[in-house]
């Protein structure tokens, strides 16, 4: 068991009840382009076309052979594009009786009629190949590539996240089958990472290794797991996949059809009833959160509160890799108090302990979506080291991110990182930097220029 000491569990109210309750059915679902770094789609459908569940919607020009399939059966309601015609989302209005692509020939529970190539082929055809992400760069693997190791993340220490154990133990057969499918995909170690003292309701097979981690966030992030087990580099490319996608893969091979339901949680101070629900993959967030919020002006986020995506306009859909929806109060000018920087801060939280609330360690806060000040120079006050557990020189790395020296960044370990690994650094940053955005820019430069 690896004990993580540096980190931070943000004391925010609105934790979900840890049992699966109701099913929230949306009217529409979508695939979002921003879920996939560097995507350049070649569209296979247009607005007004009728599609089936599992029908390819587009292919990645930069990653030949990778298909992105429809999460619903119905009519293409809109294909939304942004600057430079970047794909924002493909929205499908769901029919009452949905048609679906058939994969009956792969239906099995013993995998005796499958080998590595047939599994790879079916994962690509079904669109479930996109469940894997590489490290470095956090991109979908090329269809003919192989990893050194595959990491299966059965933890979630993000603020207000649900306990993955509830979902895994409720879908044990699908999870076990998904593990076996991934094991057959390539002969490499599979690292299953779980929270300390978490008991899975089954035994792991040969060449599948169980690792326990304990401690505050980010102890549950894949980047943390890889750093201590098999650090990623240009010569050591790992793949990662979350427990929820392992369940989807297992369900696909068990039932012979594309799974369309997913368990997520409502969490945050502005949800009336924070809880775990079932909904559709890619569900419209506006539709499934209707009547669930306590305040009229909210910021709803798909994914983690510190690393998710604001649910607005063409992005108001559940992300591919997101397992929670969070809601906090949207700031407005009426909230500001005169000389609020000089007040005791009875309702505010700071990692630096500058408010009186630092005396009450168990207090939960109704945190709002406010910046509390403009950008400033980066100040090395030691706060980054307190929340970053990896053995990297984090203050130097963050400074080089701002400068843009990619050679120095590679020597400091940038290739091990993803945006989520720096989310806490952005949260506690007294300089108000978005390090995740800077990281993605620098990684894109390194990938092209070396």
3-state helix/strand/coil string of the chain: CEECCCCCCCCECCCCEEEEEEEECCCEEEEEHHHCCCCCEEECCCCCCEECECCEEEEECCCCCCEEECCCCEEEEEEEECHHHCEEEEEEEECCCCCECCCHHHCCCCCCCCCHHHHHHHHHHHCHHHHCEEECCCCCCCCCCCCCEEEEECCCCCCCCCCHHHHHHHCHHHHHHHHHHHHHHCCCCEEEEEECCCCCCCCCCCCEEEEEEECCCCCCCHHHHHHHHCCCECCECEEEEEHHHHHHHHHHHHHCCCCCEEEEEEECCCECCCEEEEEECCEEHHHHCCCCECCCCEEEEECCCCCCEECCHHHCECCCCCCEEEEEECCCHHHCCCCHHHCCCCCCCCCCCCCHHHHCCCCCECCECCCCCCCCCCCCCCHHHHHCCCCCCHHHHHHHHHHCCHHHHHHHCHHHCCHHHHHHHHHHCCCCCCHHHHHHHHHHHHHHHC
d(CA 301, CA 322): 10
How far from the centroid of its chain's Cα atoms is residue 115's Cα?
Answer: 29
Instruction: Give, in degrees to the nearest 5, the angle at Cα 132 between 129 and 136.
Output: 135
Q: Which of 226, 255, 284 is the last residue of a domain?
A: 255
On whether residue 391 sits in a domain, the answer given is yes
On whether residue 424 sits in a domain, the answer given is yes
Instruction: Give, in degrees to the nearest 5, the angle at Cα 267 between 261 and 270.
Output: 125
d(CA 155, CA 64): 32
- Evaluate whether 228 touches 102 at the Cβ level (below 8 Å): no
Query: Can you give the pLDDT at residue 340?
Result: 62
Instruction: Verify cis geometry, omega within 30 degrees of 0, for the bond prior to 218.
Output: yes
User: How would you classify the pairing of strands 324-329 and 261-267?
Assistant: parallel
Looking at the fold, whether 13 and 149 belong to one and the same domain comes out as yes
* Strands ordered across the beta sheet of 190-195: 2-3, 208-214, 190-195, 149-153, 238-242, 133-135
Query: Can you give the pLDDT at residue 238?
Result: 98
Q: Which domain holds residue 231?
A: 2-23+122-255
Instruction: Verify cis geometry, omega within 30 degrees of 0, for the bond prior to 359.
Output: no
Looking at the fold, whether 143 and 12 belong to one and the same domain comes out as yes
On whether residue 163 sits in a domain, the answer given is yes
On whether residue 330 sits in a domain, the answer given is no
Q: Which of 255, 277, 310 is the last residue of a domain?
A: 255
What's the CATH number where 128 sits?
3.40.50
Q: Number of structural domains, the chain?
A: 2
Query: Can you give the pLDDT at residue 359?
Result: 58
Residue 396 Cα distances to 100, 400, 409, 431, angstroms: 51, 6, 9, 15
d(CA 183, CA 179): 6
- Evaluate whether 91 touches 112 at the Cβ level (below 8 Å): no
Looking at the fold, whether 379 and 243 belong to one and the same domain comes out as no
Looking at the fold, whether 248 and 382 belong to one and the same domain comes out as no
| Cβ atoms within 10 Å, residue 203 | 8
User: How would you classify the pairing of strands 238-242 and 149-153?
Assistant: parallel
User: Which among 231, 235, 234 has a CA at the least distance from the CA of 391?
Assistant: 231
Q: Which of 224, 255, 286 is the last residue of a domain?
A: 255
On whether residue 6 sits in a domain, the answer given is yes
On whether residue 235 sits in a domain, the answer given is yes
Query: Can you give the pLDDT at residue 204?
Result: 74
Looking at the fold, whether 237 and 379 belong to one and the same domain comes out as no
10-residue stretch averages of pLDDT, the chain, 450 residues long:
94 92 95 97 98 98 97 98 96 96 76 88 96 98 97 97 94 93 94 84 78 96 98 97 98 93 96 97 98 90 96 97 96 64 60 60 76 71 93 96 96 98 93 94 93
Looking at the fold, whether 146 and 15 belong to one and the same domain comes out as yes
- Evaluate whether 225 touches 2 at the Cβ level (below 8 Å): no
d(CA 261, CA 25): 10
On whether residue 385 sits in a domain, the answer given is yes
d(CA 288, CA 5): 37
On whether residue 160 sits in a domain, the answer given is yes
* Strands ordered across the beta sheet of 74-81: 28-32, 87-94, 74-81, 50-51
């Amino acid at each position: 068991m690896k004990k993580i000491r540096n980190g931070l569990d943000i004391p925010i109210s609105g934790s979900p009840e840890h049992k699966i309750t109701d099913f929230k059915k949306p009217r529409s679902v979508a695939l979002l382009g921003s879920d996939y770094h560097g995507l350049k789609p070649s569209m296979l459908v247009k607005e007004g076309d009728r599609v089936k569940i599992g029908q390819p919607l587009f292919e990645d020009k930069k990653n030949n052979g990778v298909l992105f399939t429809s999460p619903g059966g119905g009519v293409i309601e809109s294909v939304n594009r942004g600057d430079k015609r970047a794909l924002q989302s493909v929205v499908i209005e769901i029919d009452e009786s949905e048609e679906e692509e058939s994969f009956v020939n792969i239906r099995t529970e013993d995998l005796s009629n499958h080998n590595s190539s047939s599994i790879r082929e079916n994962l690509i055809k079904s669109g479930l190949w996109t469940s894997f992400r590489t490290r470095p760069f956090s991109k979908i693997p090329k269809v003919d590539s192989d990893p050194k190791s595959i990491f299966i993340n059965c933890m979630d220490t993000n603020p207000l996240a649900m306990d993955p154990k509830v979902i895994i133990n409720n879908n044990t057969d699908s999870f076990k089958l998904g593990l076996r499918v991934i094991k057959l995909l390539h002969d490499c170690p599979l690292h299953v990472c779980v929270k300390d003292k978490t008991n899975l309701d089954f035994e792991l097979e040969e060449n599948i290794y169980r690792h326990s981690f304990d401690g505050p966030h980010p102890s549950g992030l894949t980047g943390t797991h890889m750093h201590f087990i098999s650090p990623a580099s240009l010569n050591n490319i790992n793949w990662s996949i979350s427990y929820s996608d392992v369940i989807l893969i297992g369900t696909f091979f068990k039932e012979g059809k594309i799974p369309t339901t997913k368990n997520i949680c409502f969490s945050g101070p502005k949800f009336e009833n924070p809880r775990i629900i079932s909904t559709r993959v890619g569900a419209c967030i506006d539709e499934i959160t209707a009547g669930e919020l306590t305040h009229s002006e909210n910021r709803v986020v798909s994914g983690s509160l510190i690393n998710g995506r604001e649910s607005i306009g063409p992005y108001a859909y559940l992300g591919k890799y997101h397992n929670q929806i969070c809601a906090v109060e949207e700031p407005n000018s009426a909230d500001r108090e005169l000389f609020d920087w000089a007040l005791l801060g009875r309702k505010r939280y700071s990692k630096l302990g500058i408010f009186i609330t630092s005396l009450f360690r168990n207090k939960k806060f109704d945190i709002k979506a406010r910046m509390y000040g403009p950008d400033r120079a980066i100040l090395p006050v030691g706060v980054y080291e307190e929340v970053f557990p990896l053995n990297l020189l984090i203050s130097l790395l963050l400074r080089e991110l701002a400068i843009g020296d990619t050679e120095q960044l590679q020597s400091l370990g940038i290739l091990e990182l993803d945006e989520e690994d720096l989310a806490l650094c952005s949260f506690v940053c007294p300089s108000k930097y978005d390090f995740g955005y800077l990281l993605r820019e620098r990684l894109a430069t390194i990938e092209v220029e070396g």
